Amino acid sequence: MNWRKIFLILAIIFILTGVFLPRDWYDVVPKSEIDLTWIKHHDEPNASPQKLPPIKGVTLLQISFVIEGLVFLWFGLKRCTYTRLSADQLLLITTEENKNDFGTTSFWLITAITVLALVLRLFRLDSELWLDEITPIFFYSPMPTLHVLTGFASANNHLLNTLLMKLAIAFFGEQEWAVRLPAAIFGVATIPVFYWLSRLILTQRSSICATLLLAVSYHHIFYSQNSRGYTMQMFFTILASWLFLKGLQKDCLKIWILYVAAMFFNMATILNSSFVIAAHLLVGAAALVIIKQRGDSPVPLLYRLIAVFGIITLLVFQLYATFIPQAYIYTQQIYSIPGNGFSPFSMEFATEMIRGISAGFGTSLIFLVFPFAAIVAAVGLVASLKRNWALTALLVLPFILTFAYLLINRLNIAPRFLLLVFPFAILVMIQGIDSVFQLIADKVSQKPNTLAAKLATAMVLLGCVVSLASLRRYYAVPKQPYRTSLAFIEARRQPGEIIIAIHHIENGYRFYAEEFNLIEDVDLFYVRSVEKLDSVLSKHGERGVYLVTTFQRSLRFTVPDLEAQIARDWEEVQVFPATLGDAEVRIWRHHHSD
């Protein structure tokens, strides 16, 4: 096969496409929620005016085609062959993966753990959807696939998950379990991949313990049953980190191709995976410095990394060219609003983090074991850096870079932004538990290795039991009780009585309204302002009205006058709990009601 001719033909096609690409189609691509004509919009008095980006996305798309055409032209004119680098031109890292303790038993153990993970993630997969799962259905299910790929209407478009969600809905309908199926599948797939990664730093016994802990983890199950892109991001981040280290060690063409694919799909999942790429670039730069310091030439590996990251950049730029301008404007606006996230060093953020962590372990237990956990984490971090500094850096740097970016740009932070640190936290804790019990066993036992292994395994199994125990409430309580609260109201609502859904509860009630035969503006009214609330009440009176709210904190920041009026004139009669923070659904009756 004459690759040079193929590259030249591709160069001509891409350059001509970039120069002569029609631009009119881009004008009808939705670029904000206002452009979604199939969504009924309500006036929001405090909404910020829509800013225009400095450049059109279609212009960036044309530029990306031309750049890729020039790259193909370069490959077509230059004879390129792949020559594998020698050992002295690569990073030398000693790993634990070749030290087999259990033989084929480990395969069956990981298989069993993966099956357990599958069962835990499929059980109650059909529970009620919450707001951020429902919104993409309204936004993107009716949207043509081309518009999904080229328009940035909301950060809720986790692109890969959105496309898979559309596919699942096309096959199975708008079923809760179908909407969440892609996230659940990737959540399960993460289990064996995490085991492969952990073998780079942990013994086989410890790797199995770490994998089991991830499989039964309350938090990983929570996100595996959440129709968002987070489990996909975690899967591809773990896989890409494993492949990157293999590439630095072996420089195999197949590994680099798989790495490019993994990183591309990682970016196709969520835009903030760019911090993962940045972390890998930093580790690659550190590898070059180490190679130079030991007296070898870093230039061959430098060229290899330039080629690899250059291809990734071109592919990602091509994918998101039409997204970039609008996404930049959106993130600067949406995450500067106090209700969308928390100030990084605020007590609110600390409280939310404690609430989120304690959901899987219990608040009292967290405070009880915090001193021990802090010591174990510190010991584990030091031990991890000594064992495999590169893997440790690959897993912790995305968290550090994300946090730094939010601080520098004075943007709010949400706990889900830090989810990528979760696999790292498990590895560090397992490593710390091993190290601490090894120190203890060395002083009290004649067979310290055996005793340390038993104690460490017992500690991990205890953590697994605690996490499994917390799942009882998780499975019993929905993420956000839209259907539950509607069923409660419908069981009590008399003929002529109405429901007023306030702001953030709107999409959830709209999604489940059909199930209860509720008609908008007849039985069910959506309100986002004091004026609208007064208007509805003037027509229907204050008696016989069920008013419903959720995300009370966000409501207070978004429409404080409306929140204040509800608190003053209405009485809270029922609260339905949620596993998601501040997602409780509150039902109110007017003080004048019987």
Task: Write the CB contacts of 521 (distance below 8 Å, at least 6 apart in sequence).
Answer: none
What confidence tier does 367 reach under pLDDT thresholds 50, 70, 90? low
Secondary structure percentages of the chain, helix, strand, coil, to 5: 70, 5, 25
Q: pLDDT tens digits for 510-546?
A: 999 999 999 999 999 999 999 999 999 999 887 789 9
Nearest Cα to Cα of residue 208 among 223, 222, 219, 192? 192
Mean pLDDT of 70-78: 90
Higher-confidence residue of 100 and 451: namely 451
Q: What is the pLDDT at residue 326?
A: 80
576 token code pair: 């339905």
Q: What is the pLDDT at residue 343?
A: 77
Identify the residue whose tokens are 């019993």: 476
Buried b / exposed e across 307-331, counting CB within 10 Å, b at 16+? ebbebbeebbbbbbbbbbbbbebbb
Q: What is the pLDDT at residue 350?
A: 74
Cα(423)–Cα(103) distance, rounded to whole angstroms? 25
Buried b / exposed e across 8-18, counting CB within 10 Å, b at 16+? bebbeebbebb
What proportion of the chain, given as a percentage, has pLDDT over 90? Answer: 68
Q: Is the pLDDT of residue 362 over 70?
A: no
Q: What is the pLDDT at residue 357?
A: 73
Strand 545-549 relative to strand 585-590: parallel, antiparallel, unpaired? antiparallel
Q: pLDDT tens digits for 429-445?
A: 999 999 999 999 998 87
Q: Is the pLDDT of residue 238 over 70?
A: yes
What Cα–Cα distance (Å) separates residue 241 from each residue in 196, 233, 390, 394, 525?
11, 12, 9, 7, 49
Q: Is the pLDDT of residue 49 over 60?
A: no
Q: What is the pLDDT at residue 514?
A: 92
Q: What is the pLDDT at residue 43?
A: 53
Q: pLDDT tens digits for 264-289?
A: 999 999 988 999 999 999 999 999 99
**Looking at 209-218, 226-235, 448-457, which range is the least confident one?**
448-457
N- to C-terminal Cα separation, the chain: 83
Cα(266)–Cα(246) distance, rounded to whole angstroms? 18
153 token code pair: 């209407």
- DSSP letter assigned to residue 581: T
Mean pLDDT of 98-111: 82
Mean pLDDT of 281-310: 95
Kind plus residue range of the DSSP H or E element containing 524: strand 524-527
Mean pLDDT of 110-118: 97
Higher-confidence residue of 83 and 490: namely 490
Q: pLDDT tens digits for 461-476?
A: 999 998 898 899 999 9
113 token code pair: 């753990």
Higher-confidence residue of 462 and 365: namely 462
Q: What is the pLDDT at residue 413?
A: 80
- DSSP letter assigned to residue 90: S
Q: How many helices (H) and strands (E) does the chain have?
A: 24, 5
Kind plus residue range of the DSSP H or E element containing 435: helix 421-444
Q: What is the pLDDT at residue 154?
A: 81
19 token code pair: 């120069």
411 token code pair: 């943007």
593 token code pair: 């009601």
What confidence tier does 494 reach under pLDDT thresholds 50, 70, 90? very high
Upper half-sphere CA count for residue 451 (Cβ side, 13 Å): 13
Provide the 10 A C-beta neighbour count for residue 396.
19
Domains and CATH numbers, the chain: 3-77 (no CATH), 87-476 (no CATH), 482-590 (3.40.190)
Identify the residue whose tokens are 């690759």: 3
Q: What is the pLDDT at residue 333?
A: 61
Q: pLDDT tens digits for 149-192?
A: 998 888 788 999 999 999 999 999 999 999 999 999 999 999 99
Q: Is the pLDDT of residue 87 over 60?
A: yes
Q: What is the pLDDT at residue 479?
A: 95
pLDDT averaged over the chain? Answer: 89
- DSSP letter assigned to residue 151: -
Q: Is the pLDDT of residue 359 over 80?
A: no
Identify the residue whose tokens are 């370069």: 74
- DSSP letter assigned to residue 49: P
Residues 318/21, Cβ–Cβ less than 8 Å: no
What proportion of the chain, given as a percentage, has pLDDT over 70? Answer: 93
36 token code pair: 């979604």
- Alpha carbon 218 to chain centroid, angstroms: 15
Q: pLDDT tens digits for 374-424?
A: 899 999 999 999 999 999 999 999 999 998 988 888 777 877 777 888 999
Q: What is the pLDDT at residue 392?
A: 96
Task: Write the CB contacts of 575 (distance below 8 Å, at least 6 apart in sequence).
Answer: 584, 585, 586, 587
Query: Coil, strand, or helix at residue 499?
Result: strand
Q: Is the pLDDT of residue 233 over 90?
A: yes
Residues 312/260, Cβ–Cβ less than 8 Å: yes
Q: What is the pLDDT at residue 537?
A: 94
